Structure 1
Amino acid sequence: MALKTGRGAEAPPFLVMDVIAAANARAASLPPGAYPDSLGILRMEVGQPGSGAPRGAAEAAIRALQAGNPMGYTEAFGLASLRARIAGHYRDRYGVTVAPSRIAVTVGASGAFPLAFLAAFDVGDRIAMAAPFYPPYANILTALGMVPQLLPCDAGTRFQPTLTMLEKLDPLPAGLIVASPCNPAGTMLSPEELAAIARWCHANGVRLVSDEIYHGLSYGTVAESTAVAFSDSAIVVNSFSKYFSMTGWRIGWLLLPEDLVRPVECLAQNLFISAPHVAQVAAEAAFDCREELEANKAGYARARAALLDGLPAAGFDRIAAADGAFYLWCDVGHLTNDSLEFCARMLEGAGIAASAGVDFDRERGSRFLRFSYCGPEAAMVQAPARLKAWLGR
């Protein structure tokens, strides 16, 4: 007799994780000096900063360990000192006053999303989001029995949802996820656009979930703003993984509306107990590492500029406005109608790992791919030359 499979098994795969495995295997099989530039496989598939945690954060963790700190459980919402520091971040960066009691320290943003979704939505609820989108939004919702409602966006809307688009929805969804800067396109909502969307959601009983994990990484003229400045009912998700370069430490946070504080706390107590204590110590110290973090950002900016300058000559000339984050979303419909196969050939032939667009947009992603440029700068700037040689340009 076949055994029952749970609902969670229905979640689609996060394909970029498969690309990581393929790139690792390809790198292991390469002979020394396989490429003239001696850089090996160029890792442009995943949004993982190549710099690692800032020195001050790592040193804070070392000091705590050497002092004999047992690193036991913290409160479910995290260390009081870290929550106060995050609240200070909102005051200093955005001019917004938030109570530390509304802040939940989480096991990365990845741990924040299921807490937010479970507290705010019911099984069967529809939650809207722009397409293309960060795959785990839809995959987590699907695993929880909720229904992703995709809003097809393109260059005409800068790959972001618009108020006009939302006003046409009938019936209204239970929630809306926005991201600014967004993954994969790197585009941003202006403060005025975010304010209009946040106020529309609040007025219409649509729970807004604002993914702000790429805040601190913007390069153009669009200013960063936080949804909490415009709505008391919005949920904000953030993380130490991107600007703070602390992916493997698995540390993030939620900024919650008052009505969800206790429900999320109860869920966190049962699902996670607490975020890792040592990671919380390091995260608090990371706020004092701005000089190093801004130097990392300057490196991303240089890599971004080199790619935007060099990729068109290599045949990648249809790129979304890269306002922030560290991604380039490229329309490669003139090169392929199968981005998954194209990326596999690119890894084999050019030694470049990139993410196929089908991971981010199941309907139209076969003609798109995403390059991440947060790896070592020397490797990132070499990509156009490799692509040009591979495509015979």
Structure 2
Amino acid sequence: MHQNLAARLDNIAPFHVMELMKMAAELEKQGRHLIHMGIGEPDFTAPQAVIDAAAKAMAAGRLQYTSALGLPALRAAISQHYRDVFDLDVPASRIIVTAGASAALLLACAALVEPGREVLMPDPCYPCNRHFVAAFEGRAKLIASGPDHRFQLTEEIVRQQWDERTSGVLLASPSNPTGTSIEHEELGKIVAAVKELGGFSIVDEIYQGLTYDGAPFSALSLDEDVVVINSFSKYFNMTGWRLGWLVVPERIVPALEKLAQNLFICPSSIAQYAALACFEPATIAIYEERKAEFKRRRDYIVPALRELGFGIPVMPDGAFYVYADCSSFTDDADAFAKQVLNEAGVVIVPGLDFGPATATSYVRLSYANSMENLQEAVARLKKFLTDR
């Protein structure tokens, strides 16, 4: 029997970078030594206290379903974290623990995106964000946002682009792929404008803990109607544990709980018990040391890439990415990334996945790698560019 797939799949593009990852895996099978600057994953893993907490929970048999909203103790710990770090009172009742930030974004889009309606987001942006919108038959309206705007939307842009089809905005600060944040005052103006226009603001803050220049802030300080996404993957180094959270206005918690019950039952109980250890003072001290190491790497790699001739028009102030203009070397960033892989043995990501505006002229490099490997990558890139 011939079975047609749902038409919505036509609106979800494949991850082009996966082709590059397959090529890299094949080269490594052949014995090539590659330096990976492609994957958006901390090279640090969960601290021992987190692993021990997971083992203790398993030994105690704490393996049953939890509430769809998450463990009350973990929701309370996240609430306290907002108080400790940002001096914000975010009640635990507004916090929903999720199966990764991806589940949080899925739940937010399920609750807020209407079929046929548009959600504004910058180009470049993380591709899955637009695909979450597409999954609920909304339309991501990508708006070219260059270095003059820190690769982010502004209040002026939002007002210019808003029309009768627009429902809201989906922002990320700091952003993947650019590592740039929206400045506090500008984000406040955007949120106020969206509210005035009758829309919703979703702000992805999964890299918020990795902010290097100045004190980090949360969009939750701007308006209690903002929906904020966060994660244990990046600052807390728990990528494969699949645990995140969502902060929403109190009035929509019942709707999100209903969705979470039906779509996910609950997040992993083991990951939740493990995450409780993330907030212990000794564990936070480890995370802060690792954050300082990411900053040290950034402060090395950005000048080194500029010296090689890459254009980095905006200093990335967060995450662990550099979004670099390679147009002085090529007019095809995808072909350039493949050439760098094959000839220099360095894995970088072309702009193709992040939106059309920078697809051919930018590459993303992750500095979630050791300083030794970053230095070797720069040496290989220098030789490659000299020999071309």
TM-score, shorter chain, exceeding 0.5: yes
8 Å CA contact retained: 2:202, 2:229:
yes
Q: Distance in 1 between matches of 2:14 and 2:199?
A: 28
**Is 1:7 the equivalent of 2:7?**
yes
User: Alpha-carbon deviations, 1:163-219, whole Å to 9, x = none?
Assistant: 111121241520101111111111111221111111222222110001100012122
1:320 corresponds in structure 2 to 314
User: Alpha-carbon deviations, 1:240-280, whole Å to 9, x = none?
Assistant: 10011110000000001123211111111111111111111
Aligned-residue offset at 1:29: 1.6
The one of 228, 238, 243 aligned to 1:236: 228
Q: Distance in 2 between matches of 1:21 and 1:116?
A: 32
2:302 corresponds in structure 1 to 308
2:89 corresponds in structure 1 to 97
8 Å CA contact retained: 2:123, 2:357:
no
Q: Distance in 2 between matches of 1:250 and 1:18?
A: 24
8 Å CA contact retained: 2:212, 2:318:
yes
Any residues of structure 2 matched to 1:365-384 within 5 Å, and which? Answer: 365-384=359-378
Q: Distance in 2 between matches of 1:73 and 1:15?
A: 36
The one of 286, 293, 298 aligned to 2:287: 293
1:34 corresponds in structure 2 to none
8 Å CA contact retained: 1:7, 1:144:
no
1:86 corresponds in structure 2 to 78
Q: Distance in 2 between matches of 1:62 and 1:380?
A: 34
Q: Distance in 2 between matches of 1:304 and 1:145?
A: 38
The one of 311, 325, 329 aligned to 1:335: 329
Match for 1:301: what amino acid?
Answer: K
Q: Distance in 1 between matches of 2:135 and 2:68?
A: 24
Any residues of structure 2 matched to 1:1-393 within 5 Å, and which? Answer: 2-10=2-10, 11-30=12-31, 40-67=33-60, 69-171=61-163, 173-221=166-214, 223-288=215-280, 289-392=283-386
Match for 1:225: what amino acid?
Answer: F
8 Å CA contact retained: 1:14, 1:136:
no
The runs of 5 or more residues in structure 1 that have no matched partner are 32-39
8 Å CA contact retained: 1:240, 1:247:
yes
Q: Distance in 2 between matches of 1:238 and 1:356?
A: 26
Match for 1:353: what amino acid?
Answer: V
User: Alpha-carbon deviations, 1:13-57, whole Å to 9, x = none?
Assistant: 1233443333222222225xxxxxxxx311111110011112211
Q: Distance in 1 between matches of 2:45 and 2:34?
A: 19
Q: Distance in 2 between matches of 1:299 and 1:8?
A: 42
SS of equivalent to 1:392? helix
Moved more, 313-322 or 155-164: 313-322
Q: Distance in 2 between matches of 1:43 and 1:286?
A: 27
User: Percent of aligned pairs with the same residue?
Assistant: 36
Q: Distance in 2 between matches of 1:342 and 1:224?
A: 35
Match for 2:4: what amino acid?
Answer: K
Aligned-residue offset at 1:144: 2.1
Q: Distance in 2 between matches of 1:217 and 1:155?
A: 21
Match for 2:193: what amino acid?
Answer: W
Aligned-residue offset at 1:293: 0.9
Aligned-residue offset at 1:8: 4.5
8 Å CA contact retained: 1:129, 1:178:
yes
Q: Distance in 2 between matches of 1:320 and 1:18?
A: 28
SS of equivalent to 1:321? coil
If the length of structure 2 is used for normalisation, what is the TM-score? 0.95
Q: Distance in 1 between matches of 2:360 and 2:374?
A: 24
8 Å CA contact retained: 1:128, 1:176:
yes
Residues 264 and 22 (structure 1 numbering): CA distance in 2 closer, same or farther, change over 3 Å? farther
Q: Distance in 2 between matches of 1:368 and 1:332?
A: 5
SS of equivalent to 1:174? strand
Match for 1:91: what amino acid?
Answer: R
Residues 7 and 377 (structure 1 numbering): CA distance in 2 closer, same or farther, change over 3 Å? farther
Aligned-residue offset at 1:390: 1.0
Aligned residue pair count: 383
SS of equivalent to 1:81? helix
Q: Distance in 2 between matches of 1:134 and 1:220?
A: 22
8 Å CA contact retained: 2:147, 2:313:
no
The runs of 5 or more residues in structure 2 that have no matched partner are none
Aligned-residue offset at 1:319: 4.4
